[in-house]
Structure 1
């Protein structure tokens, strides 16, 4: 594992060189302070879109940064000789590093973005935590975890601050309905520009607030996704499926959906080393009750994968009833981890199929891998999460009454 201080100096030096007018800027960043947006992002309305040349849409997931006060905030669970030079800035350096190598079309931050209890000013911590995405003018979105609101901002205040930041596509909540939590919303990823599906969402992204801690005295432990949120998800999923499968250019199957929130579902405990890809190094810290959201996902039929954080030492993906349940693994250096076990990020790449006429169609496959913050920014555990034609969608019974 590369010494954290050396890595930090290398990355910050590269950024400083670019800011001084270097002719070799970090990947995805233009000279003169302007960002070169990935091809998959449609300019103007900040609409997410698959690339017309690559037919790909790439998402970087950052889980559990636990950001606090920058260089004043030390690291946890690193080697003793790294403690004197390691801080939140190592987290920032890692984000810049992985963005440069992956050039993602979109970044998702899945909660515990800041460690509120150690932050002097939650607003400043949030600004610093998301600074790489904002500075590089990349589209990004976030949900909140169980530690974001433990500082100078309430849970609603944290999400309000995020929604007001530059280049974010985050939303506070859907309008016109009563719903639990803050940060329940969906985003649509349109087909490639110039294709027949250019004005349809071919990939749907769902974001939910999984809560922090139980507010029911008789139920200990962490929060969960409430009935009001599940009703919103069901209605949103149903609407998107109808729009995709009916009307102009109707499709035979729903567009795939990816779901992001912080606290894992109880169903994450159904796996062991024989039926997942990755590692499980700690228990599953889900709510102590099962809210039934996994059943809601299965019944809806379009969700192909769920992505969470919360348990920093787990980074596996396991498939249950047609849905992949995936951890990202811990990203931040002011978060608990394991010395010698690199901090990591999860990347998801969706690819379009080619139609008989040779143009881009709907999503053909979704794959994932992880990037490690080691000397070589290693890629590990590449796997296919979903291929068109393999579905966990509920089928009507053919058994006669």
Structure 2
């Protein structure tokens, strides 16, 4: 009997530890509020909102999928599972409030079952119970599901905030144009206000105009939706915004090594025409930074006309890269200001860095993307994960 009682106590204690650990994670995040069937993002109690960007997973068939561009000693035991393990490590290290997948999430050409590939690719986000959002790249639809079908499946997955397209807008090009609002901390004067606006757009795959070769671009219908949405949000409050999509804008070619932070190791694979979306962003005035993928061995951030244009760097192992150049992910941390009464106010700063998939998840290239009182970009070449 005594032995049975000890066993019961041990089980109860173990169960309590699990509950406490899960409660601590929820309190740390405080980013997902469920009420009246609506999911809402919110800054957590420490005055931060943390976003993990995952670019170009190129997920295929899991353990059967070989890696590309890794060192010879890595190749024999490298597969899509390395991509999965990297996401899991990043979630543990950064404890993000939102995970954003910026396209080429699966590599359709090498995928025998796109649904199984998506389930495996997004599994770390789903099982973490962390809200996540996704846009499409140019390779997601190259298997047996159409581009529309891929986005419809993503929207139906657990814990995703992804949307097929904005409701009530009418016809709009692409699949996966939507915005998310991030509200202030519970108990603050910003509890019911969006103090950070996130925009997600489908940058297309390939040109459908015979006389224009190359990749797709953000179309006028999408730009009109963005303008209307930005105007509506700014009429409520002058909150800063961030934009996420897959294919870089032509303006990414404006930088050289003297005016960006990070590395540029390949050309800018934007559309061969300029649809004017960067000008649209500048005119709107709220977007402080744009985050893309597509060019896997570029990972720089450069500022142009008040907007930072940033790459994440390639994340996935079944994607081209550079042997010896670690796969990486970008983190963005948005911090709130403290008001005179001690409560949390509006956004004070937006910072970013990258983590490498090495032994220590080394963090590199800290920089300030925006602050209420501009003080220039703070740069640190390298430091070690804690």
**Cα distance in structure 1, aligned partners of 2:21 and 2:131:** 13
Change (3 A) 1:243 1:152: same
Cα distance between partner residues in 2 of 1:377 and 1:68: 24
Structure 1 residue 82 displacement after superposition = 1.5
Change in CA separation of 1:60 and 1:22 when aligned onto 2, cut-off 3 Å: farther
Distance 2:27 2:39 in 1: 10
Pair 1:273-2:265 in alignment: no
- Tell me which residue corresponds to 1:201: 194
Partner of 2:113: 121
Partner of 2:66: 74
Question: Contact 1:38/1:104 (CA < 8 Å) preserved in 2?
Answer: no
1:394 is matched with which residue?
none
Counting matched residue pairs gives 357
Aligned partners of 2:335 and 2:320: how far apart in 1? 34
TM-score (structure 1 length as normaliser): 0.86
In structure 1, distance between residues paired with 2:209 and 2:247 = 17
Asked if the contact 1:29–1:136 (Cα under 8 Å) also holds between the matched residues in 2, the reply is no
Matched, 1:172 2:164: yes
Paired position in structure 1 for 2:33: 43
Q: CA–CA distance in 1 between the matches of 2:79 and 2:251?
A: 34
Could you say what secondary structure the match of 1:30 adopts?
Answer: helix
User: What runs of 5+ residues in structure 2 fail to find an aligned partner?
Assistant: 1-13, 376-386
Residues 78, 340 of structure 1: 8 Å contact kept: yes
- 1:377 is paired with a residue whose SS is coil
Specify every segment of 5 or more residues in structure 1 that has no aligned partner in the other structure, as ranges. 1-20, 245-253, 392-401
* Secondary structure of 2:280's aligned partner: helix
Specify the SS of the correspondent of 1:130. helix
Aligned to 1:61: 53
Query: Partner residue of 1:323?
Result: 307
**Distance change in 2, residues 1:144/1:270 (3 Å):** same
CA distance in 1, matches of 2:80, 2:28: 27
CA–CA distance in structure 2, aligned partners of residues 103 and 213 of structure 1 = 35
Q: In the alignment, is the contact (CA less than 8 A) between 2:33 and 2:41 conserved in 1?
A: no
Counterpart-to-counterpart distance in 2, 1:216 and 1:111? 22
Query: SS in structure 1 opposite 2:53?
Result: strand
Q: 2:333 aligns with which of 317, 326, 349?
A: 349
- Tell me if structure 1 keeps the 8 A contact 2:27–2:44: no
- Of 283, 305, 308, the residue aligned with 2:289 is 305
Judge conservation of contact 1:317–1:324 (CA < 8 Å) in 2: yes
Residues 278-289 of structure 1 mapped to structure 2, 5 A cutoff = 278-289=262-273
Query: TM (normalized to structure 2)?
Result: 0.90
Q: For residues 363-389 of structure 1, what are the alpha-carbon distances to aligned partners after superposition, in whole Å with 9 as ceiling and x for unaligned? A: 000000001000110000000000014
Corresponding residue for 1:134?
126
Tell me how far 1:291 sits from its aligned partner.
0.2
Equivalent residue number for residue 188 of structure 1: 181
- In the TM superposition, residue 23 of structure 1 has moved relative to its aligned partner by 9.8
